Amino acid sequence: MDGIYDSQGGIRSNFHIILFSSNSPANLCRVTEFFQQIINGLSLGAIYALIALGYTMVYGVLRFINFAHSDIFMVGAFSGYFFSRFFPSESIFGGISVVFLSMLVCAFLGMLIERVAYRPLRGSSKLNVLITAIGVSMFLEYSFQVKLTKPLSFPVLFPTMSFTLPGGIILSSTQVLVFVMTLLLLIALQYIVLYTKMGTAMRAVSFNPMAASLVGINNDAVISFTFGLGSALAAAGGILYSLNYPSIEPLMGVLPGLKAFVAAVLGGIGNIPGAALGGLLLGVIETFVNGSRYSTYTDAIAFTLLIIILIFRPSGLLGKVTVEKV
């Protein structure tokens, strides 16, 4: 019985299933470690990807970085904590319900922030909106801190177990959950953006807001929808993150938010598949550096690599330099 312990010392994982038992020779160790790090990196990166999508979508329609987005991620975690008491813990139904309700709450929060703080500034200089976004971010962080002086321990929402794959690679059910949920959300998002009327309108507004209004699109409604969509994804990210790091506090969004923002830039800001790719890549790089003997410099090395990538691809990995015909 392998146990992964949470902050209170309780056993998180009750079952350990060995899918394939193998006596791995010593030279297989490094291969095993490599794949183990890939899996760990991807599951961290998937969470960055979920946050990065919100940055990139809002940038797509408004050409502005919503700095309060990382705090919506935090509110997602806290609303998960709040809703968890109404559902049985360690159950799939309960877990999914909590995730769904938190996504809903954050979607409304994102739309509210857009309506109250950003829409009145439409048409004023970008700098004003940017400063407002920082203000909203601080408002969320510090109004939560008024009530919460100590970090809270995030509940166990889903049943936990871990699997041993061939070669001794360990896959936890939380990682499986992160992969499955991120994949489903990405598919849903791609469907909305590519095949629904609202998604097509989002792409139209993103390309040219003036032309969009001339075909009868209400740009404000599309922008509001975009905030809702991005915030819902951040909420899902917040809960998945808290399942891995179960101590939640009002400033928990700052660093993951910053990294997700970098991931969005890395993938090509405004580009949806780019944000997902950037998030995954950042997660993997970070995990590998963390597992090496340079782990003290994790963030420094990870960010240096990103800077190098951006030197060679200034518009990001999937970002395109668009040329307009005259």
Partner 1 sequence: MFESRQNILELHDVVVNFGVINALKSISLHIKTGDIVTLIGANGAGKTTTLRAISGLVPIKSGRIIYQGDDISLLKPHQIVRNGIAHVPEGRMVFANLSVLENLQMGAYLQQDKKVIKSQMDYVYSIFPRLKERIKQTAGTLSGGEQQMLAIGRALMSCPKFLMLDEPSLGIAPLLVKNIFEKIVEINRQQGLTILLVEQNANLALDISTYGYVLESGKIIVQDNSQVLKTNPEIRKAYLGG
State the residues that interact with partner 1 by CB under 8 A.
197, 200-201, 203-204, 206-208, 210-219, 322, 324-326
| Cα–Cα distance for residue pair 171/239, rounded to 1 Å | 19
Q: 186: closest CA among 25, 21, 50, 325?
A: 50
Distance of closest approach, residue 284 Cβ to partner 1, in angstroms: 29
223 vs 260, beta carbon nearer partner 1:
223
Distance of closest approach, residue 205 Cβ to partner 1, in angstroms: 9
204 vs 277, beta carbon nearer partner 1:
204
Distance of closest approach, residue 82 Cβ to partner 1, in angstroms: 38
Distance of closest approach, residue 326 Cβ to partner 1, in angstroms: 5
Q: 164: closest CA among 35, 287, 288?
A: 35
| Cα–Cα distance for residue pair 166/20, rounded to 1 Å | 5
83 vs 225, beta carbon nearer partner 1:
225
Give the tokens for residue 227: 């905030």
Distance of closest approach, residue 265 Cβ to partner 1, in angstroms: 20
293 vs 325, beta carbon nearer partner 1:
325
- To which H or E segment does residue 3 belong? none
89 vs 200, beta carbon nearer partner 1:
200
16 vs 115, beta carbon nearer partner 1:
115
Distance of closest approach, residue 320 Cβ to partner 1, in angstroms: 9
| Cα–Cα distance for residue pair 110/68, rounded to 1 Å | 9
Cβ count within 10 A of residue 122? 12
- Residue 171 pairs in a beta bridge with 163
- CB-CB contact of 209 with 202 (8 Å): no
Q: Which residues contact 167 (CB under 8 A, 6 or more apart)?
A: 22, 24, 28, 31, 32, 35
Contacts of 321-325 with C-beta under 8 Å, sequence gap 24+, read: none
Residues written for the chain = 326
Distance of closest approach, residue 316 Cβ to partner 1, in angstroms: 16
Give the tokens for residue 310: 């951006």
Give the tokens for residue 145: 């801190």
152 vs 198, beta carbon nearer partner 1:
198
Distance of closest approach, residue 215 Cβ to partner 1, in angstroms: 5
- CB-CB contact of 113 with 214 (8 Å): no
9 vs 216, beta carbon nearer partner 1:
216
What count of Cα atoms within 13 Å lies in the side-chain half-sphere of residue 239?
Answer: 32
